[in-house]
Amino acid sequence: MEDAPSGGSKPQAQRGGPVFSTEDHRWMRRALTVAEQALFVSSPNPRVGCVLVRDGRWLAEGSTQRAGDRHAEAQALHEAALRGVAVRGATAYVTLEPCSHTGRTPPCADALVAAGVARVVIGLQDPNPKVAGGGIARLRAAGIQVDVGLFAEDALAQNPGFFARMTRGTPWLWLKSASSFDGHTALPDGRSQWITSDAAREDGHRWRARSCMVLTGIGTVLADDPMLDVRAVETPRQPIRAVLDTQFVLGEQARIINGDPVWVFTTRPDAGKAARLAARNVRVIVLPADDHGGLSLEALARWLGAHEINEVHVEAGARLQGALIQAGLVDEWVAYVAPSILGDGQGLAALPTPIAGLDQAYRYEFLDVQPLSPDMRLRLRDTGRWQALVQACGL
């Protein structure tokens, strides 16, 4: 890579913290870009990028590998060693605080100390209680200059599920929908193939691929018999596929049962059926019912958080989507809209309890609008849940 350019915008302080130079901005932007390489692979670890720089020159870079393999800092140091590049005296730009504990891998803070880096610029402190400033403290105790807070919200936006799981104990959940311009996801008889285009479906598979779990309801399984795996894009791993099946009526020949991991959440234990399904890599999880006899969605969210699920991609019918909305568990919506009018059909969400007035509407903010000819992708986010996450991370 080329040298960092001189000149440019004036260095800026980050919310009363350290002043970061133009070069700092450049290399942290690069680290954020490198972190994107971990989009489909790092779960349940966060997506992190690390760039090593000395005297304005790029030395090496790395992103988080599969769980159990190198973290971003270790990968960058490994790449530098492969190239025969010494990193003593370098600056490491890391999007998330280096870990200070031994988990599946040794502490990255120790690796940076041993490598002799002089400075570490960090996007955001790690909310993991096993780290939570410990990496920063270890680096500073070794005499390394540490500056924190550059592009912190960008680092958070790359890993909403990891930060949500660590701070509130539940994953980041988004709904995916594909509808006509007048808001129908299917004809009255349930036919929906295909309302949106190949481009929209391919983009939807990218969202599946980045998630830890693809979740649907038993109604969708019985009506459509979907696979719910990632097929339209290349991915190094498949997300776990899960079915919310309160009465445990899943057919044992459903296409979703194909040997890859499937989780079934139910309130009705059936040991014999569960044992048969277990032999086919299906895990049956019994959760409590809510006050109305349905499976408790709050208990589901807590269970997923306790089992290292960062991001949940929901592709379901109107009933489950409406129930998740009313339970206050939806963080985001990824909505594909086709330029077509159906006139009548099935809607996006059916709320269990209808709202009494417009002042009770569930409201979101638009994040972006992406053309996917001939369709559009709309991203919406629950502002309150995002701001709560931002505050929980000290931003």
Q: Tell me the C-alpha to C-alpha distance, in Å, between residue 198 and each of 84, 304, 361.
A: 45, 31, 32
Query: What DSSP string runs through 305-372?
Result: HHTT--EEEE---HHHHHHHHHTT---EEEEEE-S---SS-B-S---SS--SSGGG----EEEEEEEE
d(CA 221, CA 243): 8
Amino acid at 19: V
Q: 35-62: per-residue pLDDT in tens?
A: 999 999 999 999 999 999 999 999 999 9
pLDDT at 95: 97
Active-site residue, selected from the candidate residues 73, 97, 311, 315: 73
d(CA 32, CA 117): 20
In this predicted structure, the answer to whether residue 189 has a pLDDT above a threshold of 80 is no
- Burial label for 9, CB within 10 Å (0-12, 13-18, 19+), is exposed
pLDDT band of 238, cuts 50, 70, 90 = very high
Query: What DSSP string runs through 248-269?
Result: ----TT-TT-SSS-EEEEESS-
Q: 214-226: per-residue pLDDT in tens?
A: 999 999 999 999 9
pTM for this entry:
0.90
Q: 316-338: per-residue pLDDT in tens?
A: 999 999 999 999 999 999 999 99
Cis before residue 11, ω within 30 degrees of 0? no
79 flagged as catalytic = no
Please give the sequence-ordered ranges of beta strands (E in DSSP) within 39-184, or none if there are none: 49-54, 57-63, 91-96, 119-124, 145-148, 172-179
d(CA 288, CA 311): 22
In this predicted structure, the answer to whether residue 13 has a pLDDT above a threshold of 50 is no
State the helix-helix crossing angle for 72-82 and 108-115, rounded to 10 degrees.
30
